[in-house]
Amino acid sequence: MTDGVPDHSGVDYTDGAGETPADYPTLAAKFERASDVVGKTLDAYDAPAVIWTGDRDSTLALYLVRAVAADRDRPLPPVVLADSVAPDAFVARWVDRWGLDLVIAGDDRLATVIDDHGFDAVIAPDRGNDPDTAADESFVAPTRDGAVTYDRIRPLLVFDAEAARNATWGFVVPDTVDAFPAGYVPEDADGLPDGVELADVPVSPGTLED
């Protein structure tokens, strides 16, 4: 989009302002709030997309979007691979298994890809305790990148690093790998449970210990 800073009718740009991860003390509460943000996004925007780098947090955000889209019988938005930290084989494997509509963009090309594809919102993996995230920020941030404008959606603002880690190993991985015990956190690739291979786990090898 190249008109002006977006202002979509019906979108609450103050939603979540002033909230912190501490306001949602359980994983269930965090998932409920984050899922609500994703659901509103799928309803409000004509062409949303999901930013994925292959790391833990972006995979958690993608997991949420996939779950909400399935619950609402909505198509999964395109997934923009930006500034990937994952090996090509990892990306290819999960694109195939999850049936992702992948758009590849280096971080410096994100605005170009958004403009070329007409995306009006991107769901990003910004956590609530990220150093670059202010405490009073809301779930929806009107964003300008040069001449390109879009809304940046941040459902993970209710998660801090510990909660994101617990959510990944307590839900994302067990829901994907039948043989994986919920809540088990390997220290590295050599610490995976018996019967589970590295290729089975939707967490990039380089971020297993995050």
Q: What is the CATH number of the domain that holds 157?
A: 3.40.50.620
Structure tokens given for 155: 């459902």
Residue type, position 121, single letter? A
**Rounded (10°) CA dihedral 26, 32, 150, 84:** 60
Q: Is residue 139 part of a domain?
A: yes
Give the three-state DSSP class for 32: helix
Q: Is residue 84 part of a domain?
A: yes
Q: Is residue 202 part of a domain?
A: no
Q: Is residue 83 part of a domain?
A: yes
Residues of the domain holding 70? 21-163
Q: Could you count the other beta carbons within 10 Å of the beta carbon of residue 84?
A: 19
- The sign of the CA dihedral 58, 42, 98, 112 is negative
Q: Is residue 184 part of a domain?
A: no
**Rounded (10°) CA dihedral 103, 38, 61, 46:** 10
**Tally of domains in the chain:** 1
Q: Is residue 63 part of a domain?
A: yes
Q: What is the 3-state secondary structure (H, E, C) of 166-210?
A: HHHHHHHHHHHCCCCCCCCCCCCHHHCCCCCCHHHCCCCHHHCCC
Q: Is residue 62 part of a domain?
A: yes
pLDDT along the chain (210 residues), means of 10: 53 91 96 97 96 94 98 97 88 95 85 93 88 72 85 96 92 93 82 88 78
Structure tokens given for 146: 């040069």
How far CA 171 is from CA of 143, 160, 174, 182, 184, in Å, comes to 31, 16, 5, 7, 10
Query: Which pLDDT does position 191 carry in this prediction?
Result: 86
Q: Rg of the chain over CA atoms, in angstroms? A: 17
pTM here is: 0.91
